[in-house]
Chain A
Amino acid sequence: MTKYKNLSSPTKNMVSTFALVIGLFLILQILLLTGSVSSLVKGQLVPICAYIVMAVSLNLTVGILGELSLGHAGFMSVGAFSGVVMSSVLKQAGASDGLRLFVSILTGCVFGAIVGFLIGIPVLRLKGDYLAIVTLAFGEIIKSIMNNLYIGLDASGLHVNMLKDNLNMTDGRVIISGPMGVSGNDKLSTFFAGFLLILFCLFVIFNFVDSRAGRAVAAQRDNYIATESVGINVTKYKLTAFTISAGMAGMAGTLFALNYSTVVASKFDFNTSILVLVFVVLGGLGNMKGSILAAIVLTLLPELLRAFSTYRMLLYAIVLILIMLITNNPEMKHVVDTVLSRIKGLFRRRKGGAVND
């Protein structure tokens, strides 16, 4: 028989994940203070935070709920544009930058969650490959809508239309201009805000998983009929998890969008959904630490490989394949595990020694 305690307990997992995030943040702060972070990496800090939130939220759907979703960037897109609109509205109202960022991210969350909920109702009735294909389709539908969306703001309020000529603006400013997207956006996002957002999302995910609702979700993944047989409305809890996941993707979208002066809808396409899925699969299903590390490494990698110019994407692909091999090949994994446990053993011996002295 296998004892669960010998695996990893939920609390231990949560603590070590928080420790990882806070530790990395502190190290980066020190490096930033001593000026040893290249401007290239500096520019990637907020996007990395956004991708981490994307990865952990998609892991909630794929790893914990157990449904393959290929349209996660769609929710990011909804969050990005709704957040940008809110930040413009708040600017007109004269709110401070911090408040604008906060309320905009909240807006991104609400809109991402609403769209996630509405899409979840039909999609979660499907199973396996069918569900994956339909989420892919919805992701593309959202992209197309955003690509043709015009939103303007003037003294009389917001104007929304799918045709530029029908906006009926007297004066004021066009915030979202169809395929041209957003331009002249205020860059409100900060690394610290991204850090807090990651902590918030991890807090929600871990607490969700280790609760009545989380147990229901884990149970349905193991055995659907048995879960229904103990009085659990499985659809309700699947929809809850999917909505939370979409809301978080919305927040990531706002954080991401408010880091750039221009944002276009085509940024949040199928490629982005797949990229985030790669973070999740590479980091391990249900493994939040893995998602975080994969998001960091794979976002930085193309930047770090810039020196190789022409061969950049080739090297990126090779590194990706190597990482996959190392993490998913049992023999390779064994080698890595032995090395890691040796290192751990060394540490332990040292600690033990110190006590004996």
Chain B
Amino acid sequence: MTKTNMVPVPSLGIIPERDVNRMPILDIHHLGIDFGGLHAVEDFNLVIGRTEIAGLIGPNGAGKTTVFNLLTNVYTPSRGVILLDGVDIRGKKTWQLNEMGIARTFQNIRLFNKLTVEDNVKVGLHNICRYSTLEGVLRLPRYWKMEKEAHEKAMELLSIFDMQHMANYVAGSLPYGAQRRLEIVRALATNPKLLLLDEPAAGMNPSETAELMQNIRKIRDDFQIAIMLIEHDMNLVMGICEGIAVLNYGKIIAKGTPDQIKADPVVIEAYLGRQGEESLHAEG
């Protein structure tokens, strides 16, 4: 008797043409989670290409942040399968998922407020510039070599956002916009394959947002990674996202290109048409 080896194949969905011949970075099937009786996320299906910039939009409380928390196992899914680079991530802990290639930022900024900007990035480099605790305590050669490398890498990463001169500042004392940028740098430091950004432009002024747009695109181009972002600023979303999914009450109500999403009557009814009022409460 011979058994057939069955392999997972990508589900239906759209990805950029340039990524077609490669394994999608993310392939999510029927993902769901309940909080008590509330289906916060229900039957969530999505494919993201290896170098895609994808957007996840929807009204406040739709379940967008919850999706990120499921992808990083801050919450454990009640249902569904998540394939990261073709590998089922079930049962993996948050820190293991980062080692597998998922890095993220947080809607309510979570920096290491008492550490310096440079140390924040160096914590992100934890698994890149490695040496054992013993090597560190005894100050063996590897310690000096890796610390030097970490310093150089941290400066290089900070230069993406022109933040090298802030290296010695305490992270908690930075202005809001700089804190958001530092969170992105820290996530990038872990050398991810997929970067999750939760409302990266929240609290930024229009010129900061415009600059951020450029930088997100540049990060994708330079690092050749996939980026999935949650954002209420439609200029940013429609400007840089290639594929967009719209979430409402925990369910995807539309998927498509920016042009398709902009013209979708269901999306306009549920979200885009109400953007004016929504953005007033966007700081949730």
Binding site for B on A (CB under 8 A): 1-5, 7, 204, 207-208, 211-216, 218-219, 221-223, 225-234, 240
Shortest beta-carbon distance from B86 to chain A in Å? 20
Provide the bound-state CA to CA distance between A275 and B135, in Å.
Answer: 33
* Chain B residue, CB-CB nearest to A240: B133
Tell me which of B115, B137, B170 contacts A208 (CB under 8 A). B137
* Chain B residue, CB-CB nearest to A203: B137
B98/A4 in contact, CB under 8 A: no
A231/B173 in contact, CB under 8 A: no
Please provide the chain B residues from 61 to 119 with a CB less than 8 Å away from any CB of chain A in the complex: 72, 74, 93-96, 98-99, 103-104, 106, 110-116, 119
Tell me which of B95, B124, B138, B170 contacts A234 (CB under 8 A). B95
Provide the bound-state CA to CA distance between A343 and B267, in Å.
Answer: 70
Please provide the chain B residues from 125 to 179 with a CB less than 8 Å away from any CB of chain A in the complex: 126-127, 129-131, 133, 136-139, 143, 146-147, 150, 166, 168-170, 173-175
Tell me which of A1, A208, A230, A240 contacts B169 (CB under 8 A). A1
A-B contact pairs, 18 of them (CB 8 A): A3-B170, A4-B168, A5-B168, A207-B136, A207-B138, A207-B139, A211-B147, A212-B130, A213-B133, A215-B126, A218-B119, A222-B113, A226-B112, A228-B98, A229-B94, A229-B103, A229-B104, A229-B106
Provide the bound-state CA to CA distance between A226 and B187, in Å.
Answer: 10
A2/B126 in contact, CB under 8 A: no
Q: Tell yes or no: B186 within 8 A of A by CB.
A: yes
If over half of B's interface residues share one DSSP class (helix, strand or loop), that class is named, otherwise mixed; here it is mixed
The 6 tightest CB contacts between A and B, nearest first, are A211-B136, A231-B98, A226-B110, A228-B94, A222-B112, A2-B173
A1/B166 in contact, CB under 8 A: yes
Provide the bound-state CA to CA distance between A207 and B150, in Å.
Answer: 17
A218/B112 in contact, CB under 8 A: yes
* Chain B residue, CB-CB nearest to A213: B133
B72/A222 in contact, CB under 8 A: no
* Chain A residue, CB-CB nearest to B98: A231
Please, which residues of chain B bring their CB within 8 A of the CB of A222? 111-115
Contact (A211, B95) CB under 8 Å given A5-B168, A218-B114: no
Provide the bound-state CA to CA distance between A234 and B93, in Å.
Answer: 11
Binding site for A on B (CB under 8 A): 72, 74, 93-96, 98-99, 103-104, 106, 110-116, 119, 122-124, 126-127, 129-131, 133, 136-139, 143, 146-147, 150, 166, 168-170, 173-175, 186-187, 189-190
Please, which residues of chain B bring their CB within 8 A of the CB of A225? 74, 94, 106, 110
Tell me which of A2, A5, A228 contacts B95 (CB under 8 A). A228
Provide the bound-state CA to CA distance between A232 and B94, in Å.
Answer: 9
A215/B137 in contact, CB under 8 A: no
Contact (A204, B137) CB under 8 Å given A3-B168, A225-B74, A231-B95: yes
Provide the bound-state CA to CA distance between A228 and B187, in Å.
Answer: 11
Please, which residues of chain B bring their CB within 8 A of the CB of A228? 93-95, 98
A223/B112 in contact, CB under 8 A: yes
Tell me which of A7, A208, A226, A230 contacts B133 (CB under 8 A). A208
Tell me which of A207, A226, A233, A240 contacts B106 (CB under 8 A). A226
Provide the bound-state CA to CA distance between A77 and B130, in Å.
Answer: 36
A4/B127 in contact, CB under 8 A: no
* Chain A residue, CB-CB nearest to B101: A231
Please, which residues of chain A bring their CB within 8 A of the CB of B112? 218-219, 222-223, 226-227
Provide the bound-state CA to CA distance between A231 and B136, in Å.
Answer: 19
* Chain A residue, CB-CB nearest to B69: A225
Please, which residues of chain A bring their CB within 8 A of the CB of B104? 229
B137/A230 in contact, CB under 8 A: no
B174/A230 in contact, CB under 8 A: no
Shortest beta-carbon distance from A95 to chain B in Å? 26
Provide the bound-state CA to CA distance between A232 and B133, in Å.
Answer: 14
A216/B126 in contact, CB under 8 A: yes
Provide the bound-state CA to CA distance between A232 and B260, in Å.
Answer: 40
A231/B190 in contact, CB under 8 A: yes
Please, which residues of chain A bring their CB within 8 A of the CB of B186? 230
Provide the bound-state CA to CA distance between A86 and B50, in Å.
Answer: 61
Contact (A207, B99) CB under 8 Å given A2-B173, A215-B115: no
B136/A230 in contact, CB under 8 A: no
Contact (A2, B169) CB under 8 Å given A230-B190, A231-B95: yes
B143/A230 in contact, CB under 8 A: no
Contact (A232, B123) CB under 8 Å given A211-B136, A215-B115, A226-B106: yes
B131/A230 in contact, CB under 8 A: no
Provide the bound-state CA to CA distance between A211 and B123, in Å.
Answer: 10
* Chain B residue, CB-CB nearest to A222: B112
Tell me which of B98, B99, B173 contacts A1 (CB under 8 A). B173
Tell me which of B111, B147, B170 contacts A223 (CB under 8 A). B111
